Amino acid sequence: MIVPRLTLSNGVTIPAMGLGTYPMHDEATAAVASGLELGYRLIDTAEAYGNEEQVGRGIAASRVPRDQIFITTKFNRAWHSVDGVRQAAQASMRRLGVDYLDMLLIHWPNPGLGRYVEAFEGLLRLLDEGIIKAAGTSNFKPAHLARLHTATGMLPQVNQINLNPWAQRADTVAYHRRHQILTESWSPIRPAALLSDPVILAVAKDHDATPAQVVLRWHTQHGYLPIPKSASPARQAENLASWDLELSEADMAVIDDLDRGEDQVTDSDVYGH
Ligand SMILES: NC(=O)c1ccc[n+]([C@@H]2O[C@H](COP(=O)([O-])OP(=O)(O)OC[C@H]3O[C@@H](n4cnc5c(N)ncnc54)[C@H](OP(=O)(O)O)[C@@H]3O)[C@@H](O)[C@H]2O)c1
């Protein structure tokens, strides 16, 4: 199956589930090629993962045309300036072997550095020039997003955050909903113990599905865009088949009750690279 698409606030369409690539290195080439053959159309990488070349080789090796693949990458704090973002984009495009990016993201806000507004201004210029189709942030809290809005009058189309049933990020998700920002979930099926939570196991048993499929369908039924990573074609296919599931309102409600709060995630006011 080919993953269905969502529409971003700027009218660009984006696949509703993607393939994560961290922490893959040489194995990323085969994993990306198999993911694309199976039906993934969004690939998530980053400068920090050190695998953009391997990911680019996987894209080139697949038979899927470039214009059907949504390539997303992220840059580190060293590039938090208007010109720095342009250089970061050019370096990523060179490593990936492509001449445009579908989405470029500020990987972490690094508020201690205090330059994420400049980085966002750099993204907006690339968007105007068509070098990127969407401007993304990652690990931004509502206060960081609000600062972008005040300074530029604009917001990203996507904010990629650590989100799973144990860490549901209610405040951030509510801000996204109010401002038409798509929520993209990183580590959507982690930590590993989440997949043996008794509630997830019970829902999986009812649907004759796997725990990972239940968690991924919970994300997509909420309208979140999960980017599960798997190096294994069998698990990539298993994760794609989550689209065949239909969770009931009651299933969604019992999973919604699993939230353990914001201290499940890394504090992006403190950590960043
Ligand atoms: N923006 C950020 O700061 C940030 C931070 C971290 C990650 N990310 C992105 O988000 C992506 C996903 O996050 P993640 O890789 O940390 O976590 P994840 O995708 O939630 O989980 C990946 C782990 O789950 C295993 N797995 C995959 N499918 C499975 C299945 N069906 N059943 C059981 N286990 C399964 C994988 O192992 P196998 O490979 O052996 O299948 C791997 O160990 C990353 O790859 C990266 O692209 C972004």
Cβ(229) – ligand 1 distance below 6 Å: yes
pLDDT tens track for 68-97: 999 999 999 999 999 999 999 999 999 999
Mean pLDDT of the chain: 98
Classify residue 203: in a domain, yes or no.
Answer: no
Classify residue 29: in a domain, yes or no.
Answer: yes
Q: How confident is the model at residue 33 (pLDDT cuts 50, 70, 90)?
A: very high
- DSSP labels, 50-69: T-HHHHHHHHHHSSS-GGG-
Classify residue 241: in a domain, yes or no.
Answer: no
- 131 Cα to the center of ligand 1, angstroms: 28
Classify residue 33: in a domain, yes or no.
Answer: yes
pTM: 0.98
Q: Where are the alpha helices (DSSP H) in the chain?
A: 27-38, 52-61, 82-96, 116-129, 142-152, 170-178, 198-207, 211-221, 233-240, 249-256
pLDDT tens track for 214-228: 999 999 999 999 999
Cα–Cα dist 66/270, whole Å: 37
Q: How confident is the model at residue 61 (pLDDT cuts 50, 70, 90)?
A: very high
Q: Report the domain count for the chain.
A: 1
Could you give the residue numbers annotated as active site? 49
Q: Residue 220 has what pLDDT?
A: 98
Q: Residue 1 has what pLDDT?
A: 87
CATH of the domain at 128: 3.20.20.100
Classify residue 37: in a domain, yes or no.
Answer: yes
Distance of CA 221 to the CA centre of its chain: 16
Cα–Cα dist 116/18, whole Å: 25
Cα–Cα dist 25/23, whole Å: 7
Exposure string over 227-263, b if 16+ CB within 10 A, otherwise e: bbbbeeeeebebbbbbbebebeeebeeebeebeeeee
**Could you tell me the CA-to-CA distances from 168 to 112, 120, 152, 163 in Å, in that order?**
25, 25, 28, 6
Cβ(212) – ligand 1 distance below 6 Å: yes
Residue whose Cα lies nearest atom 4 of ligand 1: it is 186
pLDDT tens track for 146-165: 999 999 999 999 999 999 99
Classify residue 139: in a domain, yes or no.
Answer: yes
pLDDT tens track for 177-208: 999 999 999 999 999 999 999 999 999 999 99
The pair of structure tokens assigned to 71 is: 């390539």
Count how many residues are written for the chain: 273
Instruction: Tell me which residue of 21, 13, 87 sits closest to 229, measured CA to CA.
Output: 21
Classify residue 212: in a domain, yes or no.
Answer: no
Cα–Cα dist 147/154, whole Å: 10
121: containing domain: 11-191+219-231
Classify residue 250: in a domain, yes or no.
Answer: no
Q: Residue 162 has what pLDDT?
A: 98
- 20 Cα to the center of ligand 1, angstroms: 6
